[in-house]
A and B are shown apart, each in its own frame.
Chain A
Amino acid sequence: MRQIDKRYLREFLPAMAAYVIVMLMIWPKVDSVDIPVLKVAAALAPMLPLAFAAWAFIRRVVASDELERQMHLMALSISVCVVGMACMAIGFLASAKILSLPGGLFTWVLPALIGVYGVAMWLTSRRYGNPGFP
């Protein structure tokens, strides 16, 4: 494994572990907090480990070689277009009062971006004949 991949895992995995811990330990207590400032802090607590994970991802992309950057660009473009279009469609349906959106819907935007990015990256890798991918 390349050094940049080792560094990425070293930075990304602890951030995601912290995110899981926050979601299990702090997030369930948000409803029981009465002080407004603490309530906001508890509600936004998952953002801190997510920010570290995002920073690790950005560092990985910046450290990529030229082909990897091209693949990241293609995968991110596909991901942004697919998820962006889906968000617009849902938004139009909600504006027309055909759909009523639950409050937590926005929390699915990032996982959707990551999911579509992962599939697009896999497809792009196949295009360039990645021997490490099925």
Chain B
Amino acid sequence: MINHVRELRTERGWSQADLAERLDVSRQTVNAIETGKYDPSLPLAFKIARLFALSIETIFEPGD
């Protein structure tokens, strides 16, 4: 899955630690999502979408 979490985060000037705190997850989890090493669960994806005030499909796209 492709995601735009890193771009959205940097646009807002947040560090990975800032985003992790807002999502109540570890910085490692944010890093793993941004680098595509981990696909978040649906509840976490909704949480990310709510935080950025975007729809899930705007942030996450199916990969090849």
Contact = CB atoms under 8 A, between A and B. Distances in A.
Interface of A: 2, 64-68, 125, 127-132
Of A64, A131, A132, chain B has the most CB atoms within 10 Å of the CB of A131
A2 B28 CA distance: 12
A130 B28 CA distance: 5
A132 B41 CA distance: 23
A131 B31 contact: yes
A125 B29 contact: no
Interface residues of B, number: 14
Contacts of B37: 127-129
Given A67-B29, A68-B29, 17 more contacts: A2-B26, A66-B29, A66-B41, A66-B44, A128-B31, A128-B32, A128-B37, A128-B38, A129-B28, A129-B32, A129-B35, A129-B37, A130-B31, A130-B32, A131-B28, A132-B27, A132-B28
A131 B16 CA distance: 11
A47 B27 CA distance: 34
Interface string B21-43: 00011111101100101101100
A66 B40 contact: yes
Of B25, B29, B37, which is in contact with the most chain A CB atoms at under 10 Å from its CB? B29
Contacts of B31: 128-131
A125 B32 CA distance: 10
